[in-house]
Amino acid sequence: MKYALIPLLPFIAFVLNIVFGRNYIKDRAHWIAVPAVFGSFVLAVSAFTDVLSGNVININLYSWITSGDFHVTVGFLIDQLSAIMLIVVTSISTLIFIYSIGYMHGDGGYYRFFAYLSLFVFSMLVLVMANNFLLMYFGWEAVGLCSYFLIGFWFHKKSAADAGKKAFIVNRFGDFGFGLGVILIFLTFGSLDYMQVFGQAGSLLGQTIDLFGYDVDLATLICLLLFCGAVGKSAQIPLHVWLPDAMEGPTPVSALIHAATMVTAGVFMVARCNPLFNMSEIAMNTVAIVGGVTAIFAATIALVQNDIKRVIAYSTVSQLGYMFLALGVGAYSAGIFHLYTHAYFKALLFLGSGSVIHALHHAKHDDEQNMQKMGGLRKHMPLTYRVFIIATLSITGIPFLAGFFSKDEILWRAFLGGELGRFLWLLGTIAALLTAFYSWRLIYLTFHGSYRGGEGQEQHIHESPKVITVPLMFLAFGAIFAGYVGIPPLFVEHGDKIGEFLAPVLGHPEGHGTHVQEFFVMGASIFVALAGWIVAYTMYLKKTDLPQKIGSLFKPIHTLLFNKYYIDELYSRSIVQPVLKASDKIILAFDTYVIEGIVNGLPNLIGLFSRKFRTVQTGFLANYGLVMAFGVLCIIGYMIFVR
Amino acid sequence: MEDIIYNQLSYPILTWSVFLPLIGALVLLFMRNAHVVRWTALLFTIATFIVSLPLLNNFDKSTHKMQFVEIHEWIPTWDIKYFVGIDGISILFLFLTTLLSILCVLVSWKAIETKTKEFYMAILTMEAGMLGVFVSLDFFLFYIFWEAMLIPMFILIGVWGGQNRVYASIKFFLYTLVGSVLMLVGIIVLYFYGGRTLDILALSEIQYPVKMQFWLFLAFFAAFAVKVPMFPVHTWLPDAHTEAPTAGSVILAGVLIKMGAYGFLRFSIPMLPDATLIFVKPILILSIIAIVYGALVCFAQKDFKRLIAYSSVSHMGFVTLGLFALNTQGVEGGILQMLNHGIITGAMFLMIGIIYERTHTRVIADYGGFAKLVPLYAGFFIILTFASIGLPGTNGFIGEFLIIFGAFKARMIWGVLAATGIILGAGYMLWLYQRIFFQDARTDYEATGAHPVSDINVREVITILPLIVFIFWIGVHPDTFLSYMHSSVENLIKNLNMTTSYAEYENMLVKNIMELF
């Protein structure tokens, strides 16, 4: 039961800060939030060791909704998968909370920031710890809510308010599918409890369902509906559009929510539902293809962006694509492994860029996220520079840092996955090349060369304070060593500790290859990592006029990439504008003119009739006599001729 | 008469609950001082609330039978009785009505300056009328209360309303009257066919011929559909809501429009089961249209209050969808969503009234940046916004989820179509919130400017807080409320006696119309 405190501690911090923050706690908000989240971390470690010793904790707290045969509880499941997620979420949250003390110092909404952040941690922990689909859905929506609050944290900026709204609504499209998937699961299995649903997953085999007149494989339908939610939350094609805009939020938010934890919820969910996904090859292939395509698609956009946070955001989308690729080829533990290493190096990249932005902000830089206006920061911010290098080495997959192990595992598993797998491996490897290029481009533009910002700013740029740099160092440690729990058996017998640990939940991936093949895959990914590095080195450090030349040489492609394939414009034209136009020009017009026309027209019609009819009453006796005589004639005629 | 449980309490609790507000209205008649009037009205609404509270404790959740029943002869010649009682379907509405009435008095404290006495008399009469509708088990009594509600509402809108109040009040009155008259015809037919009795329970026992059910259903449908309001007879609602004073809007949204759905539950479905099954498909289609159509209209609204009014059309579409899914989850979700909508939209109108007192404008474009000017107010409003969107953890989610679940269970397509309303709902509500609260404020609303806008005060917080509590209570532990309705809903579904599949019922309409002519 004490593990119920893991989510509850941050929730208490949220309540205290939101209720008393404005008038009483103010800029002491971190004194409540940081201990709370650290407490969760300690409990999470305790839960982890508990699971490590072979216990799986599954408790129901109370009955949530009962209606007829529908029943769902509030309860928690801590198994191998959620234990790892708990460690990732609480450890990174703790570091980012501490970082935020420095980063958000002096902001008018300081208490609000910590309140929302605490609420987020609560929601994320509920999502991870839930033991049934509906409670996961609760966490799922609640993290979306926090994301909305935190993206729009500086709500006086229109762009921030827009971005928050966009994130929420785009996610709703995904949740539309997710919610229906949850309902379909209940109708199929008669329960939403993981244990019961996954226990009966085998019964899905061969079942079909009538969908608008077509017979559809039930397992495929359920999995694709669930995957809709994952596509939204984890920003995969075609619902990736919200994540880059989400960078409007404060940088710690980008690191925690939009890199390390929330956006990986989709990956977690698919991994959690692996018994269902295993029942449908179509669904698995869809996951793999969406992942692989997103990985390379987002990487191409990142090549030409100038906003430091947006480059990292697209990088996140791309790395999430890798994770889905892994899940789709059945290498669930590889996907979770990458989720775990990615959390450290990507949080580090974001917080590092936050450190840069923080420094430039204090130097009164007016365009503090534009890399074209940076340069030469290496000498002013040596520590930030160094951790940035570590993160970059890690993400590009240089041996033997964290990213190397997890990325290599994914590519290797893809390689073994038949023809489709080979193709996806190729996509992944090309994406790795692009990753290396844009990551080093970021480093060179930001930290090398000479300063390109405004005059008189450079001497004001200083390294960030300890409260910011210490969390960076912790994360750098993670970015280097986090991968050592998953050393391929090629190097160390039983080195894949994480894979073995997760096996009870996620199973063992299929497929075996030769050592030669494995060395080839590994060599290829190291080769592209170095190649991308060298190209970036040449273009941005040696021949600095090259980017310009290449850019103008391939003008249309550059424009296309720079404008993110015009997807936002496409959605705006095809969905947003039509809805607004339809509501104004068609629906409202229908309401005002047609329905109201009839409603108001009826009395008018009656009025019209009565006005016309009134004239019959002329008051002249002769007229009445005439009409009467006519009537009598009619009756007589009727009597004689008709009867 | 074994189908009822007589009142076991030492006093006639339902009679007291219904008539206490009426006594209050009479007492007000002899008062002059506006301040005393306010306090007396508040006292009577609170007293009514307290008097009705034992209902919740002493309610027997294990049975669908009518409870706390009181029967007295009234007009024996026509077998008209004073017959009241409640079951699991009506009890929560009683509670909602007594609660909202208190809040209506509170929110009008400063807003109503003219004809104060008459205003509170109207509110109290209104309360008595609404409570009467929910407890009546005799058609005559029911019809009296049903029509009696109209008059105070008509006066509330017509006297204390906005600029276009006369048009709105007459429209409201005529619209609902047309429906009620048809219902009266239906009641008279029932009276003669059912052996000259107006006892609702007795009339529910009788098997009516299908052809008769068909016409009766249409007659009742006219009254209830207008009240709900269902598409396309919804256009009185935006006008009435927009023009009504805050308390009027709260009552309208909170209780009055629930009467239609309540009527379906109490009369149409149990009395006319065959006709219900015949009409299922068109009603579901109208519900889906209402959900999507109501939401789309919201995007085009420029008036704060009107937008919320149209959102009611969309939300009530969910309610009727749930009720006519005709399974436990759908019906329970529908009933819960009626309660939820009363709480959320009631609270929304309270909030709009609160801010209107300060800004004197309802035009959305006049707002902006209010999160900075009135942070506490903005905080409360965001809770309501997300409850309205149906975020898990709030009451809106439980209702919408059960409804979509029920609809999906009845037939997939209904669930899928209804779920689109959730995307649209998030769209217009968040856009509204952004336009009211985010970005920069207009300069003349800045605290230093010509129209200082002050944050929500203690009285207003007290007004809004109970509803906020219920939003989370129902969201986190809905079983408290759902448990009241289980037996009654179970019984309702059981009596429908659905032998063939749901899809077949959907195709019965055409066949039956062919047979009728």
**Residue type for position A370:** N
Q: List, in order, residues 6 or more apart from B190 with CB less than 8 Å away.
A: B139, B198, B203, B216, B271
Q: Which residues in chain A have Cβ-Cβ distances shorter than 8 Å to B486?
A: 66-68
How far apart CA A180 and CA A589 sit, in angstroms, is: 33
Segment 477-506 of chain B within 8 Å of chain A by CB: 477-479, 482-483, 486, 489-490
Segment 165-194 of chain B within 8 Å of chain A by CB: 171, 175
Helical H segments across A200-260, by residue range: 218-233, 242-245, 251-255
- Candidates B167, B335, B434: best to mutate against A (most CBs of A within 10 A) is B434
Q: CB B171 to CB A169 under 8 A?
A: no
Measured CA to CA in angstroms, residue B119 lies from B114, B116, B123, B161 at distances of 8, 5, 6, 11
Q: CB A156 to CB B439 under 8 A?
A: yes
Measure CA of the first residue to CA of the last residue in chain B; give whole Å: 39
∠ CA B159-B161-B166, rounded to 5°: 70
The helix, strand and coil proportions of chain A, stated in percent and rounded to the nearest 5, come to: 75, 5, 20
What would the pLDDT profile of A84-119 be if each residue is shown by its tens digit? 999 999 999 999 999 999 888 888 888 999 999 999
Cβ atoms of B364 and B436 within 8 Å: the answer is yes
Q: Which residues in chain A have Cβ-Cβ distances shorter than 8 Å to B409?
A: 183, 187
pLDDT at A42: 94
What average pLDDT does this structure show over A37-52? Answer: 92
pLDDT at A301: 92
- Give A94→chain B minimum CA distance, Å: 25
Q: List, in order, residues 6 or more apart from B469 with CB less than 8 Å away.
A: none
- B334 pLDDT more than 90: yes
Residue B306 sits at the chain A interface (C-beta within 8 Å)? no
What average pLDDT does this structure show over B474-481? Answer: 91
What would the pLDDT profile of A569-595 be if each residue is shown by its tens digit? 888 888 888 888 887 777 777 877 887
Q: Which residues in chain B have Cβ-Cβ distances shorter than 8 Å to A145?
A: 386, 391
pLDDT at A570: 87
**Residue type for position B461:** V
- Candidates A591, A594, A595, A600: best to mutate against B (most CBs of B within 10 A) is A591
**Residue type for position A232:** G
- Candidates A26, A65, A126, A148: best to mutate against B (most CBs of B within 10 A) is A65
What would the pLDDT profile of B3-57 be if each residue is shown by its tens digit? 788 888 888 888 999 999 999 999 988 888 888 889 999 999 999 999 988 888 8
How far apart CA B195 and CA B203 sit, in angstroms, is: 9
Residue B138 sits at the chain A interface (C-beta within 8 Å)? no
Backbone torsions φ then ψ of A307, nearest 5 degrees: -80, 120
Backbone torsions φ then ψ of B57, nearest 5 degrees: -70, -45
Burial of B509 (0-12, 13-18, 19+ CB in 10 A): middle
Q: CB B328 to CB A67 under 8 A?
A: yes
What would the pLDDT profile of A191-246 be if each residue is shown by its tens digit? 999 999 988 888 888 788 877 778 888 899 999 999 999 999 999 988 989 998 88
| The two structure tokens encoding residue A284 | 């698995």
Q: CB A179 to CB B401 under 8 A?
A: yes
Residue A23 sits at the chain B interface (C-beta within 8 Å)? no
Segment 57-96 of chain B within 8 Å of chain A by CB: none
How far apart CA A583 and CA A577 sit, in angstroms, is: 10
Segment 201-260 of chain A within 8 Å of chain B by CB: 210-212
Interface A-B: count of C-beta contacts within 8 A:
136
| Between B242 and A457, the higher pLDDT residue | B242
A638 secondary structure, DSSP code:
I
What would the pLDDT profile of B180-189 be if each residue is shown by its tens digit? 888 899 999 8
| Between B450 and A138, the higher pLDDT residue | A138
Q: Which residues in chain A have Cβ-Cβ distances shorter than 8 Å to B434?
A: 161-162, 165
What would the pLDDT profile of A303-361 be if each residue is shown by its tens digit? 889 899 999 999 999 999 999 999 998 889 889 999 999 999 999 999 999 999 888 88
Nearest by CB to A587, which of B300, B327, B426? Answer: B300
Cβ atoms of A14 and A25 within 8 Å: the answer is no
Position A22 confidence tier, pLDDT thresholds 50, 70, 90: confident
Helical H segments across A278-401, by residue range: 281-302, 308-328, 332-362, 382-396
Residue A616 sits at the chain B interface (C-beta within 8 Å)? no
Minimal-distance CA residue of chain A relative to B332: A67
How far apart CA B399 and CA B407 sit, in angstroms, is: 12
Measured CA to CA in angstroms, residue B299 lies from A578, A589, B293 at distances of 11, 13, 10
Nearest by CB to A65, which of B369, B386, B478? Answer: B478
- A139 pLDDT more than 70: yes
| The two structure tokens encoding residue B302 | 């420029």
Segment 560-599 of chain A within 8 Å of chain B by CB: 579-580, 582-584, 587-588, 591, 595-596, 599
Query: What percentage of residues in chain B have a pLDDT greater than 90?
Result: 30
What average pLDDT does this structure show over B381-390? Answer: 92
Mean pLDDT of chain B: 87
Q: CB A595 to CB B232 under 8 A?
A: yes
Minimal-distance CA residue of chain B relative to A144: B391
Minimal-distance CA residue of chain B relative to A18: B379
- B419 pLDDT more than 70: yes
Whether the CA torsion A419, A425, A427, A429 is positive or negative: it is: negative
Query: What percentage of residues in chain A have a pLDDT greater than 90?
Result: 38
Residues, chain B:
517
Nearest by CB to B439, which of A67, A158, A584? Answer: A158
Q: CB A583 to CB B300 under 8 A?
A: yes
Q: Which residues in chain B have Cβ-Cβ distances shorter than 8 Å to A584?
A: 299-300
What average pLDDT does this structure show over A2-21? Answer: 90
pLDDT at B1: 44
- Give B451→chain A minimum CA distance, Å: 20
In 3D, which of A164, A544, A76, A45 has the Cα closest to residue B431?
A164
Q: Which domain holds residue B64?
A: 4-516
Residue-by-residue DSSP string for A273-293? THHHHTT-HHHHHHHHHHHHH
A36-50, A370-384, A582-596, B445-459: which range is least confident on average? B445-459
Q: List, in order, residues 6 or more apart from B401 with CB less than 8 Å away.
A: A65, A134, A179, B333, B390
Rounded to two decimals, the pTM is 0.91
Segment 412-431 of chain B within 8 Å of chain A by CB: 412-413, 415-416, 419-420, 422-424, 426-427, 430-431
Q: Which residues in chain B have Cβ-Cβ distances shorter than 8 Å to A161?
A: 434, 438-439
Nearest by CB to A183, which of B235, B392, B408? Answer: B408
Nearest by CB to A141, which of B375, B392, B423? Answer: B392
Q: How many domains does chain B have?
A: 1
Residue B298 sits at the chain A interface (C-beta within 8 Å)? yes
Q: How many CB atoms lie within 10 A of CB A1?
A: 8
Q: CB A179 to CB B375 under 8 A?
A: no
Helical H segments across A75-200, by residue range: 80-103, 110-129, 133-151, 158-189, 194-199
How far apart CA A252 and CA A118 sit, in angstroms, is: 13
- Give A353→chain B minimum CA distance, Å: 26
Nearest by CB to B434, which of A18, A165, A587? Answer: A165
Cis peptide before A252 (omega within 30 of 0): no
How far apart CA A45 and CA A39 sit, in angstroms, is: 10
Minimal-distance CA residue of chain A relative to B296: A583
How far apart CA A479 and CA A476 sit, in angstroms, is: 5
Segment 38-57 of chain A within 8 Å of chain B by CB: none
- Candidates A137, A183, A594, A602: best to mutate against B (most CBs of B within 10 A) is A183
Minimal-distance CA residue of chain A relative to B333: A67
Minimal-distance CA residue of chain A relative to B289: A587
Q: CB A587 to CB B479 under 8 A?
A: no
* Strand boundaries in B329-404, DSSP class E: none
Q: CB B333 to CB A186 under 8 A?
A: no
Mean pLDDT of chain A: 88
Which ipTM value was assigned to this complex?
0.90
How far apart CA A288 and CA A293 sit, in angstroms, is: 8
